[in-house]
Amino acid sequence: MTTPRTPYLRVDVGRLDANLTRVADRAASAGVALRPHAKTHKSVEVARRQLEAGAVGLTVATIGEAEVFVDGGCFDVFVAYPLWVDATAAARLRSLAERAVVAIGVDSVAGAEQAAGLLAGSGVEVLVEVDCGQRRTGVLPAGAGTVALAAARAGLGVRGVFTFPGHSYAPDALASAAVDEATALAEAATSVRAVGLDVRVLSGGSTPSLAASDLDVLTELRPGVYAFGDAQQWELGVLDPRDVALTCRATVVSHAGGRLVLDAGSKALGADRASYATGWGRLPAYDAARVVLLSEHHAVVDLAGAELPALGSVVDLVPNHVCAAVNLHDTLWAERDGALVAWTVAARGRNS
């Protein structure tokens, strides 16, 4: 058996499959499509398991991610991002559309017309992005029809509308974010239908808000983190820590000053720390412990009085944000029945 060097990412395949099945079953029983966001795992092996569990296709953030997953055998991809489509991007999207069903996001008339000018006739469809409260990208719901009409008039097929209820990432916000999500998508669909266009898809979903998403309104869910879970989900209370399927295995390198110092830092875990986070990651074996200082190659842990594990021993950490952690590694080490198999993070670094 290969023994990777710490710090490395370890996937519990049994937990992963259970997470995939649980969400797939919820989508299936509600009659909505599941299109998981592959930015979380960036790995063809996980994508295949999602498709086998019933996903209709994948969500990605970039054309580069789409290329990796189409090459890996997923033939239905949605780039859920308001791409600015220049000639190079258009050529890549056209190439993908020859092999797969491809859709992209738009959130402006100018963006829709720019995309249409280079993609008309390619088969690439668009979904209009709607802002349901995160205040990042997306038009306000009442403006969706205007963007959709611009796309359609310029020659692009309009599939529907989508939103990301990113404001669900806060304590006690998941239920209200899910209400915002459904309200915004319904209003946006009305706006698009009012300009005479069909709306086949109302797409939403985030891992925190997933259980509360209104599946009488949404026709598609795009969660990402649910596959692995992470310390953010744990601390938001939407995930049982026993369901966390990815950990970073680290070695104890120092007891300086009575501290526990591990060799997994921000270059292995990512530096994400949301305002509600209690530290830079969590330790499954030490519920009360917190990562109180994170450098590039050090995690300093307050063990809350527990005995320090010996120098040279190994400890598992749960990253705050698993999407960021995965993107720092070339390999996920998948563990089943005590054996480790290397899964390539094929879309690592595919930012464009």
Site for a second copy, rule CB under 8 A: 5-8, 39, 61-62, 81-84, 86, 88, 107-108, 110-111, 114, 129, 131, 135-140, 166, 251-257, 259, 261, 263-264, 266-268, 270-273, 293, 295-298, 300, 311-312, 321, 323-324, 327-330, 349, 351-352
Read off the tokens for 265: 């830092």
**Residue closer to a second copy (CB basis): 50 or 108:** 108
**Residue closer to a second copy (CB basis): 95 or 137:** 137
**Residue closer to a second copy (CB basis): 207 or 219:** 207
- In sequence order, which residues have a C-beta less than 8 Å from that of residue 88 and are 6 or more positions away? none
Other C-beta atoms within 10 Å of 297: how many?
A: 15
Which residue bears the tokens 């198999």?
341
Nearest approach in angstroms of CB 242 to a second copy is 27
DSSP 1-12: ---PPSSEEEEE
Nearest approach in angstroms of CB 322 to a second copy is 11
Nearest approach in angstroms of CB 187 to a second copy is 16
* Cβ-based burial of 172 (10 A; exposed 0-12, middle 13-18, buried ≥19): exposed
Nearest approach in angstroms of CB 62 to a second copy is 7
- In sequence order, which residues have a C-beta less than 8 Å from that of residue 294 and are 6 or more positions away? 265, 266, 269, 271, 280, 281, 300
**Residue closer to a second copy (CB basis): 270 or 279:** 270
**Residue closer to a second copy (CB basis): 135 or 242:** 135
Read off the tokens for 23: 């969400």
- Are 165 and 178 in contact by the 8 Å Cβ rule? The answer is yes
Nearest approach in angstroms of CB 300 to a second copy is 6
Nearest approach in angstroms of CB 108 to a second copy is 6
| CA distances in angstroms from 155 to 93, 113, 124, 150, 197, listed in the order given | 15, 9, 10, 9, 13
| 287 φ, ψ (degrees, to nearest 5) | -60, -35
- Are 145 and 136 in contact by the 8 Å Cβ rule? The answer is no
**Residue closer to a second copy (CB basis): 154 or 215:** 154
**Residue closer to a second copy (CB basis): 21 or 351:** 351
Q: Which one-letter amino acid corresponds to residue 277?
A: A
- Are 284 and 277 in contact by the 8 Å Cβ rule? The answer is no
Nearest approach in angstroms of CB 25 to a second copy is 27
**Residue closer to a second copy (CB basis): 52 or 330:** 330
**Residue closer to a second copy (CB basis): 196 or 349:** 349
Nearest approach in angstroms of CB 329 to a second copy is 7
| CA distances in angstroms from 93 to 82, 101, 308, 352, listed in the order given | 14, 10, 53, 12
Helix (H) or strand (E) holding 299: strand 299-302
Nearest approach in angstroms of CB 3 to a second copy is 8
Other C-beta atoms within 10 Å of 59: how many?
A: 30
